[in-house]
Amino acid sequence: MSEALYDVVVIGGGPSGATAACDLAEAGYKVLLLDRAGRIKPCGGAVPPRLMEDFAIPQGLLVARARAARMIAPSGRMVDMPVGETGYVGMVDRDVFDEWLRERAASAGAERRKGTFEAIERDDRTGPLVAYRDERGGELQRVRARLVIGADGARSAVARQEIPGAGRNPCVFAYHEVIRAPLATAKGFDGDRCDVFYQGKLSPDFYAWVFPHGDTASIGVGSANKGFSLRGAVQHMRGDLDLAGCQTIRREGAPIPLKPLKRWDNGRDVLVAGDAAGVVAPASGEGIYYAMTCGRIAAQTAGAFLVSEKPAVLRMARKEFMRQHRRVFWILGMMQYFWYSSDKRRERFVEMCADRDVQQLTWQAYMNKRLVRAKPLAHLRIFLKDTAHLLGLRPLMQ
């Protein structure tokens, strides 16, 4: 059987892989998008306005627009953080959103195939062979590429095979249940608000959430503690919030990487992107925007590699992404390490969220995906307040 030859084979059709495939196809390259059928990633589905603009996403894909977030402390104290009159947190359903991205890539010229990646193989010819099966137990098939982009998730088989140390990247394990949205009169539920629970009983090292999705809602929790019962935490939350009687539509779980890999390429002909590269924001777990940004950078890097045929060019993907987002990732990582470590600290963290300066700068940074530099006095006030909290100089507000 003769093998097909592609400029790029993209393995994984989530937001990162579909974006890379679309951009490369639009640039005129021959692209294969290989995606495993039937998997929906557990995800709160939050997307910022900047994503909608940068990637030309139609507003019709949003199933909800949250206008506020509510932070819930271990004591039960609630702090509302309104986004503001012009802002919102967009919500998408991943099954619909991801498929739309894959279809856009196909419309741009990428070839779509359903299949499960098995291995990258090499022979005496130029370019790696991608071996896959179109169904479980099916015949092993192979295609050849000049470059492979692995966008196959947090436990990327491509990364584990091709990039040393990739299998040791730490992860948070996320689990959520998608339920039929309760009536507006349900206890505490608001279809225009994201609820985030910073409580050790629900997650010893991360957080739990209730996110509105129009006709449905996502109730989930994350933790890196393998002995912690994620399902038990969700059941506890549903009971406390009078959501136990709501119809459960589906249950999903998956690992979420905690930090970017130290290397994204094999120095030869393989590059990873999205969750496979570890680009999920610490503390918040936000991944869709960063995955798509990473996919776009991967496509740009792939184009430069295909023109130059110099493997060293592949290093530029990680350098460019980190140039844009290193500072935000570092700050969020430190925040998660310190504030999520005990209920006492979580209580103080939620108290800080009541501060107007914190709210304003947090939402501006979220919606625009960059740290706000225009208000140095506000940053100074936040720094002084944060330092006081760290030193325990401020009593908890009652």
Residue 186 has what pLDDT? Answer: 61
**How many whole angstroms separate alpha carbon 176 and alpha carbon 220?**
4
Looking at every residue in the chain, the average pLDDT score rounds to 88
Predicted TM-score of the model (pTM): 0.89
Question: Which of 10-19, 211-220, 240-249, 364-373 has the highest mean predicted lDDT (pLDDT)?
Answer: 10-19
Residue 36 has what pLDDT? Answer: 87
For residue 352, the surrounding DSSP H or E stretch is: helix 343-352
* Per-residue pLDDT tens digits for 277-317: 999 988 888 889 999 999 999 999 999 999 999 999 999 99
* Per-residue pLDDT tens digits for 15-43: 999 999 999 999 999 999 999 876 777 77
pLDDT at 382 over 90: no
Q: Specify the CATH superfamily of domain 5-44+94-169+259-328.
A: FAD/NAD(P)-binding domain (3.50.50.60)
Q: Which of 149, 157, 155, 109 is nearest to 133 (CA)?
A: 157
User: What phi and psi, each to the nearest 5 degrees, are found at residue 6?
Assistant: -125, 155
Where helices occur in 87-242 by DSSP H, the ranges are 94-108, 157-162, 230-240
Average pLDDT for 127-133: 95
Residue 59 has what pLDDT? Answer: 95
Average pLDDT for 208-225: 92
Q: Which has more pLDDT, 9 or 387?
A: 9
Residue 83 has what pLDDT? Answer: 87
pLDDT at 372 over 70: no
Would you put residue 242 in left (φ > 0), alpha (ψ -120 to 50) or beta? left
Question: Which of 183-187, 313-317, 380-384, 393-397 has the highest mean predicted lDDT (pLDDT)?
Answer: 313-317
Question: What DSSP string runs through 245-284?
Answer: TSPEEEEEEEEEESS--S--B-SSSEEE-GGGGT---TTT
pLDDT at 185 over 70: no
Residue 356 has what pLDDT? Answer: 84
User: How close are the terminal C-alpha atoms of the chain, in Å?
Assistant: 73
Could you give the C-alpha distances from 63 to 139, 191, 215, 250, in angstroms and in order?
39, 11, 8, 17
**How many whole angstroms separate alpha carbon 199 and alpha carbon 205?**
9
All structural domains of the chain with their residue ranges: 5-44+94-169+259-328, 61-93+170-257, 343-391
Angle, CA of 383, 384 and 388, to the nearest 5°: 115
Average pLDDT for 357-371: 75
Q: Which CATH architecture has domain 61-93+170-257?
A: 2-Layer Sandwich (3.30)
Average pLDDT for 87-98: 90
